[in-house]
Amino acid sequence: MSTPLASLDVLEPEAIRRSVDAALDDFLTEKEEAAAAPQLPYLSGLVRDFLSGGKRIRPLLCVTGWRAAGGSGDDAGSVFRIAACLEMFHAFALIHDDVMDLSDTRRGRPTLHRTLAAHHAACRGPDEVEWFGMSAAVLLGDLALTWSDELLHSAGLAPVQRDTVLPLVSQMRTELMLGQYLDLHATGGLTDDVDATLNVYRYKTAKYTIERPLHVGAAVAGAGPEAMAACTAYALPLGEAFQLRDDLLGVYGDPAVTGKSRLDDLRAGKNTTLTALALRGADAGQTALLRRLLGDPLLDEEGAAVVRGLFETTGARETVERMIDDRQRQALHALDHAPFGADAVGALKRIARMATARNS
């Protein structure tokens, strides 16, 4: 049960990562030791493996938000446990997302439903193996969701902290699910409605990945309305920029670095701001070509190269890069007026650059 707080540089990403990982490890070890059934350690081992690949961006923001709102050493154990709760929740979200997207790889490794299917390939036929993998992955996602909740319950929050933190976490969860639903609903029919894609980003990424983790951390430190509003002013543009960068990486990224296939999004016909802009800027011939290639489950590298070319000739790629810049600037600008200490402002600036200029 050790979640040490390096007193010198509480906002150093590696230090935060270590403390959050220690909290996750403690929790899973408790689960494994208390397990009445022998299957539980197998399942928690899968969750442990899955967690090990994460970037810990939400925990980083949570701890930074706590610090920005004046959090100090006394609450450190709680805030790392809450940060671990957000990471466990994210594991749940990704596991189910991969099932819904029928993805084969995540973080450079097979997705969980693929791993589970492979573990059972010996004793079943191919259809059954597929079905088993999907079903077991849904269940493991459910388990991660309930465990994220246990991390929250056992974070040692005082009643006044619970009263602000719990509703924020609930809101974050509902917002993510709503974003997922909007996304799901939009898949299949390609749209040139740029605003609709940005609306999905608002829920799925800006609020979920940036704003709410900051809010949750800030709430642990007892933040007032002004600090909460400053978090929002920074988070929403940054979150959009983060997702726009993600879209570009999904199409142009190096799979060896991102750990993700750069064909999956194109094959799935995923609606992104990039595809919406391309459709808006395309002439009739280009539109027909885009509509034929995007969403083709058999799209190969050659076809993908044609799509990438169209993203460039229609100006869509360049517009997305410009949108990222604009939003990054807005986020940094918001920090100029934020009632945060210099260390937190510095950390948030580093995060803004990392989130928008990253290559993985």
Q: Work out which of 58, 67, 90, 96 binds a second copy, going by CB under 8 A.
A: 96
Based on the shown chain and the rule CB under 8 A, indicate whether residue 135 belongs to the binding site for a second copy.
yes
Distances from the Cα of 76 to the Cα of 10, 62, 68, 356, angstroms: 10, 11, 13, 28
Nearest approach in angstroms of CB 190 to a second copy is 12
Q: Restricting to residues 51-90, name those near a second copy by CB under 8 A.
A: none
CB-nearer residue toward a second copy: 5 or 143: 143
CB of 85 to a second copy, least distance (A): 12
Size of the site for a second copy (CB under 8 A): 44
**Is residue 122 close enough to count as binding a second copy by CB under 8 A?**
no
- Whichever of 82 and 351 has its CB closer to a second copy, that residue is 82
Decide: is 149 part of the binding site for a second copy (CB under 8 A): yes
Q: According to the binding rule CB under 8 A, does residue 136 interact with a second copy?
A: yes
For a second copy, the binding residue among 9, 14, 124, 325 (CB under 8 A) is 124
Which of 2, 39, 122, 342 touches a second copy (CB under 8 A)? 39
Quick note: the x/- pattern for a second copy over 201-240, rule CB under 8 A, is --x-------------------------------------
CB of 219 to a second copy, least distance (A): 14
32 binds a second copy (CB under 8 A): no
Asked whether position 118 contacts a second copy by CB under 8 A, the answer is: no
Least separation in angstroms between CB 189 and a second copy: 7
Q: Which residues bind a second copy (CB under 8 A)?
A: 31, 37, 39-40, 43, 92, 96, 99-100, 102, 123-124, 128, 131-132, 135-136, 138-139, 141-143, 145-147, 149-150, 153, 159, 166-167, 170, 173-174, 177-178, 180-182, 184-185, 188-189, 203
